[in-house]
Structure 1
Amino acid sequence: MKLVDGNSAGTVTSFYTSGESATHDEIDIEFMGNSSGDPYVMNTNVWASGDGKKEHQFYLWFDPSADFHTYKITWNPKNIIFEVDGVPVRTFKKYDGLPFPSSRPMTVHATLWDGSYWATQHGTVKIHWRHDPFVVPYKAYHANGCVHDKATNKTSCPAGSDAWMRRELGEEELKTVAWAERNCLSYNYCADGWRFPKGFPGECGRDL
């Protein structure tokens, strides 16, 4: 993606997967625009069985509106990995007894929409329509995934899928996640006591 340049306040550019069942599953990469000169916020989130309060937000180490960059989601039965230009910045692991999107199919979406009510500085800065049109080009999209057939209720996986189906981060890749958390992380739901006054979600505090 190459994001909206200039004043992008109020805009949300996204690349995400979403399920169609009543108990909602979703995996998000969302870019929340900002006023000219201020950085974008990359919001990553996981919805599992209707629970979506699992955000990590990052300021990136480059201007995502100046050129194309590659954003990747790996989703398998063990974990969800978020990558930027091949650099893992977050992993969300599956733990026994805790919500994880693992039993329902999802489809892929790419959108650009008006998120004035929440996107920029918690909704205090709205979209400025005098700056339209807002344009986000996408290119070189690639997906390698198992396909679910609604008619037969069967899932088929292509050759080579075992590579990503088994993928977990190794020691060196976990170091890049730690680097991103130290240098780029601007919000971590596992540190938001106001949002979780009765205690943090079960996965918080677990070792990667």
Structure 2
Amino acid sequence: MATAKVLFSILASLLVLEQALALATFDTDTVCIWGEDNCQIHGDNLTLILNQWSGAAVKGTKEFLFGYVSKRIKLVPDNSAAVVTTYYASSPWVSTENDTHDEIDFEFLGNVTGEPYTIHTNIFVNGIGNKEEQFKPWFDPTSDYHNYTIFWSPYVVVWSIDDIVLRVFKNNEDKGIPFPKTRPMTVYSSIWNADDWACQGGQVKTNWTHQPFIARYLNYEDSVCLWTGTNSIQDCSAVTPENWYMAPQFRQLAPSQIDNMNDVRSYYMIYDYCSDTKRFNGAMPQEC
């Protein structure tokens, strides 16, 4: 993969990034779209609840093309087997029969007590995903809040946790690899039951004696280029002071950041689609 080469860092210049960030709140920038009784929004606090009757999901009020979004999340503690908590950005689904949506995923797959969560990442372009990378957390994601960030520019997509880059997906359109840059996205968060697949391949089911399962979110931040129509495809890609994510310092990792990312990938990565030769019958995706 390209992680050891010229990459990108959303944290290359903390000063620039802090100047660009805008503090959003769940109260003003988020609406519940599923499980209204299980969505609790109070200022900059969001609580999502899963029980036997329903899960919950919220959606951001902004459509954007490129930028930075960040949420602090404390995951479901104790026995969370088959409980999936999510945080992702997605363009609209127009049709399941002709799916062309783009999506950038964080999914957190729960486990039985004492076993680690799985941090699941993926990216969809033109409705096609199959680019999963999974990690074990190097921290307890249930005892405190941790900062999960998604950065998206015309050059790269980056997933980070607590300022440590997990993964980079570069724009390699010149090699015929699709990249998301024309469809506006919105931020979503949800909690739901997936005991048909999420815990040990579906072998471990949700233990409803532990309900309600509660995920907590804090400190919603964003700095994005708001979508105003198809003109935004050009406007949001222009090199201007407003489009801070286009600046050169956000296109390359510092050596220490490369080292940190490589350490995480070496010691905590548990699945990489680019290493799964059986899955693709030897015909590996071109970016691998």
Separation in structure 2 between the aligned mates of residue 121 and residue 34 of structure 1, nearest angstrom: 8
* Counterpart position of 1:173: 257
Map 1:143-162 onto structure 2 (within 5 A).
Answer: 143-149=222-228, 152-155=229-232, 161-162=242-243
Residues 126 and 147 of structure 1: CA distance in aligned 2, closer, same or farther (over 3 Å): same
Deviation at 1:168, TM superposition (A): 2.2
Bigger RCO of structures 1 and 2 (CA < 8 A, at least 6 apart): 2
CA 1:7–1:168 in 2, change beyond 3 Å: closer, same or farther?
same
Sort the Cα spacing of 1:160 and 1:140 in 2 relative to 1 into closer, same or farther, 3 A.
farther
The TM-score with structure 2 as length reference comes to 0.67
Gaps of 5+ in 1: none
Question: Structure 2: how far apart are the matches of 1:80 and 1:26?
Answer: 11
- Structure 1 runs, 4 residues or longer, greater than 6 Å off: none
Matched position secondary structure for 1:146? strand
Which residue, out of 201, 205, 221, partners 1:122? 201
Residue 90 and residue 113 in structure 1: after superposition, are their counterparts in 2 closer, same or farther (change >3 A)?
same
Compared CA separation, residues 33 and 82, structure 1 to 2 (3 A): same
Q: Tell me whether 1:17 sits opposite 2:74 in the alignment.
A: no
For 1:64-79, list aligned pairs within 5 A. 64-79=141-156
* Structure (1 or 2) with the greater strand fraction: 2
Out of 115, 121, 142, the residue aligned to residue 44 of structure 1 is: 121
Give 2:179's aligned amino acid.
F
1:49 Cα deviation from its structure 2 partner = 1.1
Greater share of residues in helix: 2
Query: RMSD of the alignment, in Å?
Result: 1.6
Alpha-carbon distance change, 160 to 69 in structure 1, aligned in 2, over 3 angstroms:
farther
Query: Percent same amino acid at aligned positions?
Result: 40
Whether the 8 Å contact between 2:158 and 2:167 is mirrored in structure 1 is: yes
Q: Which residue of 2 aligns with 1:57?
A: 134
Distance, in Å, in 2 between the alignment partners of 1:130 and 1:160 is: 53
Using the TM superposition, give the Cα deviation of residue 198 of structure 1 relative to its aligned residue in structure 2, in angstroms.
4.4
CA contact (8 A) 1:145 1:161 kept: no
Per-residue CA deviation, residues 35-67 of structure 1 (Å, 9 max, x unaligned), is: 000000000111111211001100011110010
How many angstroms apart in 1 are the aligned matches of 2:84 and 2:216? Answer: 13
For residue 178 of structure 2, give the secondary structure of its aligned residue in structure 1.
coil
What amino acid maps onto 1:102 in structure 2? K
The whole-number CA distance in structure 2 between the counterparts of 1:110 and 1:165 is: 27
- Structure 2 stretches lacking a partner, 5+ long: 1-72
Q: Distance in 2 between matches of 1:176 and 1:23?
A: 34
TM-score, structure 1 as length reference: 0.91
Task: Decide whether the 8 Å contact of 2:135 with 2:270 is kept in 1.
Answer: yes
1:194 — aligned with what?
Answer: 278
Residues in 1 aligned to 2:214 and 2:242: alpha-carbon distance in whole angstroms: 34
- The amino acid that maps onto 1:148 is W
Is the CA contact (8 Å cut-off) linking 1:144 and 1:161 kept in structure 2?
A: no
